[in-house]
Amino acid sequence: MAELITAGTAASATTAANGARIPTVIVDDVHIVYRVHKGAAAGTNSPVAALRRLLLGAKPPTVREVHAVKGVSFTAYRGEAIGLLGSNGSGKSTLLRAIAGLLPATRGAIYTQGQPSLLGVNAALMNDLSGERNVVLGCLAMGMSPAQVRQLTPEIIKFSGINDRGDFSSLPMRTYSSGMAARLRFSIAAAKKHDVLLIDEALATGDARFRRRSEQRVRELRAEAGTVFLVSHAIASIRDTCERSIWLESGVIRADGPTDEVVPEYEKFMNRS
């Protein structure tokens, strides 16, 4: 039978001709180091201190290196939904950005099939522009054609529900409530089809009604995508959607396995400390 699988159907199959699972994301001993510019700390940013640093050739104290991900390795396969667990600042979002190719890995390598898409709540938009213009700009930035954008814009605005209380889509985004802005951002990001989909806390936005709608949309996206990564602090949504979980703590993998085994461990850890 293996020979009968053509290129077209092979793309949707989860296993290769020889029965092996097809990897879609390979993370190979990845380290990510951020350079963060701290705000001026008292006493360290005076002209005298700056001059002394210059003369002594010391590193400016306002730049600090943050080792966010320390040697993470795993392989994700087609058809998998993987939950990323970990406390705040454990490196989950950084890792997702690196997989999406948005943040370069300092050491190690990440290999992906096609171009992974990051679906986050912080897709930068312009607050001075109307919601509708932001939709157009966001869609173009995701690589859509102008014709596609024209066609999708009304759907996106309808999905976001920002026009439920009057015509808000023509008002600047700075006039939106935080929930409305988050809903619009999610709606824009979710409008595209993806090969490898990375979802970063995107489900936590909006009210209960919008959350139901967005969870439905994510299930649809999952059905279309080969592999889904989900970062969430809502354990329930990871249990619902992911069969495999990776638990990151301080940039190191603490556990990688079936969700049923990893989640209890993680919960025990969180309740202890």
Partner 1 sequence: MATSAVADPDSGLTGAQLAARYGLTSAGARPSLPSYVRQLWSYRHFISAYANAKLVASFSNARLGRLWQVLTPLTNAAVYYLIFGIILNTQDGVSNFIAYLCTGLFVFTFTQAVVSGGVQAISGNLGLIRALHFPRASLPIAVTLTQFQHLLASIVVLAGIVLLDGEPLTIEWLLVIPAIVLQAIFNAGLAMALARLGSKATDLKQVVPFVMRTWMYASGVLYSVDNFEKHLPDWAAQLVQLNPLLVYIELMRHALMESAPVTAPATESWLLGLGWALLVGVVGFVYFWRGEKEYGRG
Query: By CB under 8 A, is residue 171 in contact with partner 1?
Result: no
Query: By CB under 8 A, is residue 39 in contact with partner 1?
Result: no
Query: By CB under 8 A, is residue 175 in contact with partner 1?
Result: no
62 vs 239, which CB is nearer to partner 1?
62
CA distances from 135 to 51, 144, 181, 189 (A): 47, 11, 11, 9
Query: By CB under 8 A, is residue 102 in contact with partner 1?
Result: yes
CB of 243 to partner 1, least distance (A): 18
Query: By CB under 8 A, is residue 51 in contact with partner 1?
Result: no
Structure tokens at 109: 């390598």
Interface mask (CB under 8 A) for partner 1, residues 223-242, using x and -? --------------------
Query: By CB under 8 A, is residue 36 in contact with partner 1?
Result: yes
Query: By CB under 8 A, is residue 103 in contact with partner 1?
Result: yes
CB atoms near residue 219 (< 10 Å): 12
Structure tokens at 270: 């969180």
Interface mask (CB under 8 A) for partner 1, residues 108-147, using x and -? -xxxxx-xxxx-x-xxx-x-xx---x--xxx-xxxx-xx-
- Burial code of 157-186, b = ≥16 C-beta within 10 A, e = fewer? bebbbbeeeeebbeeebeebeeebbbbbbb
Stated as kind and residue range, the H or E segment containing 209 is helix 208-224
Q: Whose structure tokens read 């199959």?
A: 13
* Cα distance between residue 24 and residue 8, in whole Å: 17
Contact residues toward partner 1 (CB under 8 A) are 2, 16-20, 22-29, 34-37, 73, 75, 97-105, 109-113, 115-118, 120, 122-124, 126, 128-129, 133, 136-138, 140-143, 145-146, 172
